[in-house]
Every structure is written in structure tokens, then in C-alpha cells.
């Protein structure tokens, strides 16, 4: 509450000048009270008060009072009162979150059925599902820390990687939670919006405490211990929130609420983000005060007639009342908040937000086409997101390169460019290595690449004559059967070797 008071200001202060003519008009029109001095002399004061006509009316609230109060409220609303920042919807819907999971032998204890580690995976899955559309990264740590997945909105990427985490895939035993925190902060530094770190663990080595005491990110702990047991070391940390494990979803609900609150507070320090206009809040008391005009003697007929006259002509529409009070973009934002993305796409007039709504509803080609017409770095970034989700890796690479041209050294665009390039390289390399089709069972007679630089951009594959069709890029990826635990074990071992060299 104190932070909200200190951050309070008006976005459009010029509108506050309208309060001057409102005050002058209010003073000029409001009926003046009649005093006893207006009566002839010689009349006793108590008799004069009784003889004064309209004395009771002097205590009434006049229609002009209500009208001017409404005018003041609307003027303040137009000035744009605000005390919080508004996040960029194309970067993240909510706070970016890095989840650090402790993967040690102690997490295999069965005091939480079936095990602490398995219950931790269930809780993390619930958090990921509840944060649909938000960016989440995953870290695993024991005697070494490893980035399992970067910040991503795709839960389908995180789930199989999460399931593959066991103590057997970790190259070293131990507890380097401090190293995991440093890795988590480096991941958050790549994001454009402030985020938080969540540790899911059953214990913390006291030697790791100094790293947490000097951390710059907001830290949360989910303790995987039965019967609300405490990790004593965590009680000394002042910049961390500890949530004990619960058999129901209370722990997840509490975590999500605290993470979102921390995100809103952190936005106030982000100068790159716009302030969130809160003027709509004042529209409610203004509307309620307007209802007083229907009292007897408070003329409202002319005002109602004026409202109907300014409405556009045309057939009656049951939903047309929304157009009286809300612009199409405001209606579209309400639909977005209610996750009615298809409706929002039809309501938005602003192309930037329309494209984002179509991106959320899965209309990737339409969203990409809209963003391609805009000339901002955010639009190029969003076009790349739409292209890569539509498996158009080359156009996605081009879009992210355009975003970097318009805004050099943009970490999010640089990261996505590297991801898109890696995916394309992986697909084309797999095709080249299996161009005979023997390993995939295609039985191709001949494979011709159009050029070495394009790496199969216009590839022709002659399939066997039994009528089977050539595999698409997605089918090539799906045909590769790799055990997730073996994949993670080999990757972590390689990372550990590179660190020791």
C-alpha cells in the first residue's frame, strides 16, 4: 500500500486543467442560500427562521452538485491515475519464473508417497499448467547445476524433460543450491521483464546461504517435507518466501499469488514499461452518482434524449450497449483477460493486439501476416514467434534478425534467433545424414538437395514405389527415439566436463 501511494501520479496531467472551469461553473450555477438578513428588521430571529420560505431546501443536495461531482470524477479518470506498470503482453503474460529442482538421493525418500522427488514433479507440473502462457525455465541441481530448459511458454517442452530428471542423470552428488541460484539469475537477466526463482527442495546446505543473502531476484521455496516440517536454514533469509508442502493445492495457489504480487511490485522499477491506466475505476462511482438524476424533480429527460441522439443509426443490437461505454480495443482487452482469444481477435482494432490475440488462439499464419505489416521491433519479435510456432523456421530467423536490426542487443530476440537457427540446423542435418531413408524406413531411391547453402530448402525425395509418402520435417523429428534420461545424463556430463576444462 505504501509503495502504491509513493508511485501514484497522473499520466495525462493536462486534463486536470478542466477542474478549473468545472469549479467556476459549479459556483456560478449552484443556488445561493437565503439568509435572515433578507427579511425586514424588527422580526424575532426564531420567527424569521420560521417565516423564511425554502429554508429546508437550503440543506438539500442540488442536481448541480451531483453533475459536477460526476464531472470531477470523469476528469480525474481522463487524466489517467496510475500507480503500477503494465507488462508487454507479447513478452510474458505473468512473471517469468525459473524453477530449480533439487535432484538428489534424499529426494527419493518415500515419506511423501510415492517419493519426495515425484511429488515435487507433480507440484511443478501443476505450477506450469496454472501459468499457461507464462515463461518458465527449469534447472536441476545436485553436486552441479544444469539448465534443463530455457524460458519457454510451451509446457509440452518442460514436461518430458521434468520426467527424465532422476539422481542417476546427475553427474555429481552434493548440494550446490548457490550455483543453481547464480544460473537462475543469469536466465532471468536474459528476459525483458522481472521474474522470480522457485527452489523445490527438501534441505539446504548451510554453506550455500551467503549466495541467497546477496541475491537480487525474488526467491521462493517449496519445501518437500511431510507434516509441515521446516528447513531451519531458510528462517534466516529475509528476501525469501517459504511455502511448505501440502497434500492439496493450497501450496501451489499460495505460491502463484505471491509470485504474481512480487512481479507487480517489480514492474514499478522497470522504466521501459508503460504505466497502467487505472482511470476506469473512477467510472463506477460516476455511474452510480448518475443514477440520482432519476429522482423526482431532477430533470434527466434531456440528458437521455441526448444519449440516444448521439448513438449511430442502424438495427438494434442486444450487445450494442457495450459500444456506449467501451471502445473496441477496451472490449478486446476484456476478452483477453477472460482468455477468450478468438473473440478478442475480432474485437481489437489495434493491429498489434489483434495479432497477439490471433497468436494466442493458434492462428499463426494470420498473426504473422499482421505483424509483418508493422515496423516496430516488438512486431518483428512477435512475427518470429508466430512463424516458429507454425514450423516456418527460415522466416522466423529472418523476423528475429529484423527485430535485432530495429533494436540491437535485445536478449529475448537474440535467444529466439539462436533457438530457431538450432532447430533448422537440427532438422536439415538429420535429413542430410539420413538422405537414403534407410534408418527411418523410407527406402528412398534418390535425394537431391537444391544447393549446399540452402541445406535442403527445396528438397525432393523420391519415395519407394509402394505408395508410402515422404516424411515431413516434424515426422523426421518424431521418428528419432531418444531416451530422455540418457539424453539428460549425456548432456549434463558434457557440460560438467566443459566446466572443468
Long-range contacts of the stretch 212-217 (C-beta < 8 A, 24+): 212/177, 212/178, 212/181, 212/237, 212/239, 212/240, 213/237, 213/238, 213/239, 215/181, 215/185, 215/239, 216/185, 217/181, 217/184, 217/185, 217/188
- Is residue 481 pLDDT above 80, yes or no? no
Q: What is the mean pLDDT of residues 247-255?
A: 90
| 407 DSSP assignment | S
Q: How far is CA 496 from the centre of its chain?
A: 34
pTM: 0.50
What are the residues facing 213 on neighbouring strands?
none
pLDDT tens digits along 74-130: 899 888 888 776 655 544 445 689 999 999 999 999 999 889 999 999 999 999 888
Structural domains in the chain, sorted by start: 2-83+277-304 (no CATH), 97-267 (3.40.50.410), 311-425 (1.25.40.10), 441-470 (no CATH)
- 323-379 pLDDT, tens digit each: 666 778 888 888 887 778 888 889 888 898 899 888 888 888 999 999 999 998 888
Q: How many CA atoms lie within 13 A of 149 on its CB side?
A: 24
Out of 303-312, 318-327, 478-487, pick the least confident: 303-312
Q: What is the pLDDT of residues 203-242, one digit of tens each?
A: 999 999 988 988 877 899 999 998 878 898 888 887 788 9
Q: How confident is the model at residue 466 (pLDDT cuts 50, 70, 90)?
A: very low
| Coil/strand/helix, residue 26 | helix
C-alpha span between 86 and 94 (Å, rounded): 11
What confidence tens digit (pLDDT) does each residue in 410-460 have? 877 887 888 888 888 877 777 766 554 544 444 444 444 444 444 444 443
Q: Cα separation of 235 and 238, whole Å?
A: 8
Residue at grid coordinates 529475448:
412
Confidence of residue 176 (pLDDT cuts 50, 70, 90): very high
Whether the CB-CB separation of 235 and 227 falls below 8 Å is answered with no
Give the strand pairing for 274-275 and 85-86: antiparallel
The larger pLDDT score, comparing residue 419 to residue 305, is at 419
> Do 461 and 442 form a contact (C-beta atoms < 8 A)?
yes
Residue 313 — φ and ψ, nearest 5°?
Answer: -75, 155
List the alpha helices (DSSP H) in 229-362. 250-267, 280-290, 301-310, 321-325, 328-337, 341-347, 351-360
Amino acid at each position: 500500500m505504501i509503495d502504491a501511494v509513493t508511485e501514484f501520479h497522473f499520466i495525462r496531467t493536462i486534463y486536470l486543467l478542466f477542474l478549473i472551469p468545472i469549479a467556476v461553473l459549479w459556483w456560478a450555477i449552484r443556488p445561493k442560500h437565503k439568509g435572515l438578513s433578507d427579511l425586514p428588521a424588527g422580526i424575532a430571529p426564531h420567527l424569521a427562521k420560521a417565516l423564511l420560505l425554502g429554508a429546508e431546501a437550503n440543506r438539500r443536495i442540488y442536481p448541480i452538485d451531483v453533475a459536477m461531482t460526476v464531472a470531477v470524477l470523469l476528469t480525474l479518470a481522463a487524466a489517467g491515475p496510475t500507480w503500477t506498470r503494465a507488462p508487454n503482453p507479447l513478452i510474458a503474460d505473468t512473471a517469468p519464473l525459473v524453477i530449480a529442482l533439487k535432484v538428489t538421493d534424499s529426494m527419493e525418500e518415500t515419506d511423501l508417497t510415492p517419493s519426495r522427488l515425484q511429488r515435487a514433479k507433480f507440484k511443478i507440473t501443476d505450477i506450469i499448467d496454472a501459468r499457461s502462457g507464462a515463461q518458465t525455465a527449469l534447472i536441476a541441481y545436485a553436486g552441479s547445476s544444469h539448465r534443463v530448459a530455457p524460458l519457454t511458454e510451451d509446457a509440452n517442452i518442460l514436461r518430458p524433460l521434468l520426467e527424465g530428471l532422476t539422481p542417476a542423470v546427475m553427474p555429481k552428488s552434493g548440494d550446490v543450491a548457490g550455483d543453481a541460484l547464480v544460473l537462475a539469475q543469469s536466465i532471468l537477466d536474459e528476459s525483458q521483464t522481472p521474474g522470480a526463482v522457485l527452489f523445490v527442495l527438501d534441505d539446504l546446505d548451510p554453506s550455500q546461504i551467503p549466495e541467497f543473502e546477496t541475491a537480487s531476484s525474488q526467491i521462493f521455496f517449496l519445501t518437500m517435507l511431510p507434516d509441515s516440517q521446516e528447513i531451519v536454514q531458510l528462517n534466516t533469509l529475509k528476501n525469501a518466501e517459504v511455502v511448505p508442502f501440502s497434500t492439496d493445492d493450497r501450496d501451489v495457489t499460495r505460491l502463484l499469488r505471491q509470485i504474481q504480487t512480487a512481479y507487480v511490485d517489480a514492474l514499478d522499477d522497470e522504466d521501459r514499461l508503460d504505466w497502467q491506466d487505472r482511470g476506469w475505476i473512477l467510472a463506477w462511482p460516476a455511474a452510480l452518482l448518475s443514477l440520482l438524476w432519476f429522482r423526482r424533480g431532477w430533470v434527466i429527460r434531456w440528458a437521455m434524449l441526448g444519449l440516444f441522439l448521439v448513438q449511430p443509426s442502424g438495427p438494434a443490437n442486444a450487445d450494442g450497449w457495450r459500444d456506449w461505454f467501451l471502445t473496441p480495443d477496451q472490449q478486446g482487452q476484456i476478452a483477453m483477460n477472460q482468455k477468450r482469444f478468438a473473440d478478442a481477435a475480432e474485437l481489437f482494432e489495434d493491429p498489434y493486439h489483434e495479432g497477439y490475440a490471433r497468436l494466442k488462439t493458434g492462428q499463426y499464419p494470420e498473426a504473422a501476416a499482421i505483424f509483418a505489416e508493422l515496423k516496430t521491433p516488438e512486431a518483428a519479435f512477435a512475427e518470429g514467434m508466430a512463424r516458429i510456432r507454425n514450423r516456418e523456421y527460415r522466416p522466423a530467423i529472418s523476423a528475429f534478425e529484423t527485430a535485432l536490426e530495429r533494436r540491437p542487443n535485445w536478449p529475448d530476440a537474440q535467444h529466439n534467433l539462436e533457438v530457431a537457427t538450432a532447430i533448422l540446423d537440427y532438422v536439415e542435418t538429420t535429413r542430410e545424414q539420413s538422405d537414403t531413408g534407410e534408418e527411418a524406413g523410407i527406402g528412398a531411391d534418390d535425394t537431391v538437395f537444391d544447393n549446399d547453402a540452402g541445406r535442403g530448402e527445396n528438397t525432393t525425395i523420391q519415395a519407394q514405389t509402394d505408395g508410402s509418402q515422404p516424411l515431413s520435417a516434424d515426422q523426421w523429428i518424431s521418428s528419432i527415439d531418444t531416451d530422455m534420461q540418457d539424453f539428460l545424463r549425456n548432456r549434463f556430463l558434457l557440460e560438467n566436463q566443459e566446466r572443468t576444462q
